[in-house]
Amino acid sequence: MTLTILGCHAATPRTFHNPTAQLLEVRGHLFLIDCGEGTQVALRKSKVKFARVKHIFISHLHGDHFFGLIGLISTFTLLGREADLHVYGPKGIKEIITIQLKLGKAWTNYNLIFHELDSKSPQLLFEDEKVEVHTIPLDHRVYTNGFLFKEKLGERKLNIEAAVAAKIDNSYFRKLKSGADVVNLKGKLISNESVTFPPDPPKSYAFCSDTAYCPEIIPQIQGVTALYHEATFLEEHKHLCEKTKHTTAQEAATIARDAKVGQLILGHFSTRYDRLDRYLDEAQPIFENTQLAEDFKVFEI
């Protein structure tokens, strides 16, 4: 599970900083999370193959989280894309995008499939044999969701030396990985656990931006491997949180601590601060394993 930060600042693009967008690679999937202005340029700089992006998750309809979407969709058309593109976002996202395509007479030559959301309870958005994606209802000025990405338990790992010693034909190795017992070359039933190792524990990633301090999400994100949580303000500007429905670094760290997550990544920084290490100064005394998002920084989760 690899997370690439394409943009991590709030409100407006800056000379060297982009608004929110992330790329999560997990079990063969390449999920785009939010699509602020400049996302397709950031994707190019990250040398991402556009055709691999088949699912885009939009948290809410504030411009710094989706203004790059129409440009990316249009570029896909110009590149001759044929694969379906699924867009998950709040009700209204389809109207916003299709009116631009309609007035520009620029309909896509691929299937553009919208999944519009309006539930205030967690929803399963995507599932296959390897991964599932759920919404995390958040508390912002407009309808907003975070997203929880969870690996499913993988295959068992083959202990080659033990399997050979047990005289198991290699045609049964795939069956062993699926957890089955097999019969060896002498007709003896060999228990799976004696010739395999357990699979790696499944990993999980929770994306929570934008939101006010919202302890209601803690049960859903309990124990996730990594949590990205917005931290727009420092404590000196905490009074702005009530009006804007954003969070401070200390509040984000409190969520991470109480949810017992493995790692906290802070982002959605206000451009009023010149020194981002001040976020760490405020968060790490509460949750030590805190890191800062940075444009083009890669996290191996």
Rg (CA), the chain: 22
Show the tokens assigned to 181.
């017992």
Beta-carbon contacts of 52 under 8 Å, excluding residues fewer than 6 positions away, are 30
At 212, is the pLDDT very low, low, confident or very high (cuts 50, 70, 90)?
very high
* Domains (range + CATH), the chain: 2-154+200-300 (3.60.15.10), 157-197 (no CATH)
Burial of 92 (0-12, 13-18, 19+ CB in 10 A): middle
Does residue 15 have a pLDDT over 80? no
At 296, is the pLDDT very low, low, confident or very high (cuts 50, 70, 90)?
very high
Span 43-53, average pLDDT: 95
Are residues 223 and 72 in contact, defined by beta-carbon separation less than 8 angstroms? Answer: no
Span 31-37, average pLDDT: 97
Q: Which of 64, 139, 181, 200 is catalytic?
A: 64
At 11, is the pLDDT very low, low, confident or very high (cuts 50, 70, 90)?
confident
Q: Measure the CA–CA gap between 142 and 140, rounded to whole angstroms.
A: 5
User: pLDDT tens across 147-197, in order?
Assistant: 999 999 988 999 999 999 999 999 999 999 999 999 999 999 999 999 999
Q: Measure the CA–CA gap between 231 and 123, rounded to whole angstroms.
A: 25
Task: Check residue 41 and give its pLDDT.
Answer: 96
Degrees, nearest 5: CA angle 149-260-157:
55
Q: Measure the CA–CA gap between 23 and 295, rounded to whole angstroms.
A: 11
Span 71-91, average pLDDT: 97
Give the percent of the chain with pLDDT over 70. 100
List the end-to-end C-alpha distance of the chain, in Å, as a whole number.
5
Q: Kind of pairing, strands 21-26 and 29-35?
A: antiparallel
Identify the weakest region by mean pLDDT among 8-12, 49-53, 120-124: 8-12
Q: Measure the CA–CA gap between 45 and 49, rounded to whole angstroms.
A: 11
Q: Measure the CA–CA gap between 232 and 272, rounded to whole angstroms.
A: 10
At 90, is the pLDDT very low, low, confident or very high (cuts 50, 70, 90)?
very high
Are residues 63 and 87 in contact, defined by beta-carbon separation less than 8 angstroms? Answer: no
User: pLDDT tens across 245-293, in order?
Assistant: 999 999 999 999 999 999 999 999 999 998 999 999 999 999 999 999 9
Task: Check residue 13 and give its pLDDT.
Answer: 82
Are residues 275 and 264 in contact, defined by beta-carbon separation less than 8 angstroms? Answer: no
Respond yes or no: is residue 64 known to be catalytic: yes
Average pLDDT, the chain: 96
| 102, containing H or E segment | helix 93-103
At 237, is the pLDDT very low, low, confident or very high (cuts 50, 70, 90)?
very high
User: pLDDT tens across 147-158, in order?
Assistant: 999 999 988 999
C-alpha of 135 from chain center: 11
Q: Give counts: helices (H), strands (E), the chain.
A: 9, 18
More confident residue, 16 or 165: 165
> At 185, is the secondary structure helix, strand, or coil?
coil
User: pLDDT tens across 97-152, in order?
Assistant: 999 999 999 999 999 999 999 999 999 999 999 999 999 999 999 999 999 999 99
